[in-house]
Amino acid sequence: MIIFHCMNCQQPLTGELEPGEPLRGPERPPGHEIASPRMAQGTFKVNFDGSLLILHPDDVPGTARHSDARRLIGCCGLAGQDGPNLVCSGCGLEVATKESDCWTDNLVALDAAAVSEDPEPK
């Protein structure tokens, strides 16, 4: 099991996770419904170039919404198209982008460069 921590302050950003594969499901729900989460809770997948870790939206309890309202745009949720919209709740470092709008996937993409698997010694 892996717990991802903030690279800056070492606060845990996730609970225990294990590698997994994206869930397959219907293409898009009709109307303004939010899609089912892309990943099962408790799992993550490294994206194709290793720069992002794709997680279930509920697997980042150590994060908070960005203070810049321009990062939180969306009609039914967060579009995730305006830069990172989740920060470490301990120090405010930008750590992830959440997509949860009616026209996007439903996921959190942790920035691999902003996290570590184990806390660094202080």
Contact 28, 18 (CB under 8 A): no
* Torsion sign over Cα 109, 113, 114, 119: positive
Residue 43: pLDDT over 90: yes
CA 13/CA 107 separation, integer angstroms: 15
pLDDT in tens, 12-24: 999 999 999 998 7
What average pLDDT score do residues 108-113 get?
Answer: 97
Task: Please report the pLDDT score of residue 32 as a whole number.
Answer: 77
Could you tell me which residues are beta bridge partners of residue 44?
19, 55
Task: Please report the pLDDT score of residue 30 as a whole number.
Answer: 72
pLDDT in tens, 55-108: 999 999 999 999 999 999 998 899 999 999 999 999 999 999 999 998 889 999
